[in-house]
Structure 1
């Protein structure tokens, strides 16, 4: 079963169980997937669906930091609940040690010069996409190159 089909089935289950918050999050996700399909005129595969989910999670993390800065913990909790629901569909996340090992291997392959940052990040984005927070990977690469 494809990831998109699984999400659709979960939407039907949430409807039957009357889980309104979960249903709203799943509908947002399906709308984002459908929008991407219409914009690009393609049927998204599991990798592209995971990229849409990753983008939505990143947007919600940004919102949480802004809500916390504005002293709005109620809205931050709502965004966190949406993140928790979206992460169900993400692939298994890598541990910090696995991410560090991948960064070290990429730095060793391309050299520890700051000019090779783009090559290193390009390789890591392909290898770790959806399985690690790329913001944290970027920070780790910068620390290794400094």
Structure 2
């Protein structure tokens, strides 16, 4: 079992003991998503990197939900999603700042030899591998577009 999954399970137990409803619900959801990923396709146990991918995806879902609820004028639901995202972000690596993403993308462009938007996929693949979960795909894509447009 991955150490990150064990940490999630331990923290769930602690949250239940502390009667922290938001943390308990969020960690249950995260562990359910991890279990679903484990049994999807081939039944296998996820590595820490795979668990991080699942947690990142769940955090991105919360970000999208916050935006949707705010646009719909439902601040109470947006706050609930924001609280869940904050719990999940505690398990994710620190996010890169814009300057670091720009440098990472510039390095990926030079490695791939990309000259235009036609090679965006190649640059994205290289940049996302370098970011290793430390930046959202949308931020990387925007930086790649800016780099290839110039």
Partner of 2:86: 84
1:92 Cα deviation from its structure 2 partner: 2.3
Does residue 12 (structure 1) correspond to residue 13 (structure 2)? The answer is: yes
Q: Distance in 1 between matches of 2:136 and 2:22?
A: 25
Q: Give the superposed CA RMSD.
A: 1.2
Give the TM-score normalised by the residue count of structure 1: 0.95
Does residue 56 (structure 1) correspond to residue 58 (structure 2)? The answer is: yes
Q: Distance in 2 between matches of 1:71 and 1:82?
A: 19
Q: SS in structure 2 opposite 1:93?
A: coil
Q: Distance in 2 between matches of 1:84 and 1:107?
A: 33
- 8 Å Cα contact 1:114-1:145 kept in structure 2: yes
1:134 Cα deviation from its structure 2 partner: 1.2
Structure 1: 5+ residue runs without aligned partners? none
* Cα shift readout 1:78-99 (whole Å, capped 9, x = no counterpart): 0000000000111122222211
Partner of 2:141: 138
- Aligned ranges 1:1-146 → 2 under 5 Å: 2-39=3-40, 40-109=42-111, 110-146=113-149
Q: Which runs of 4+ in 1 moved over 3 A?
A: none
Give the TM-score normalised by the residue count of structure 2: 0.92
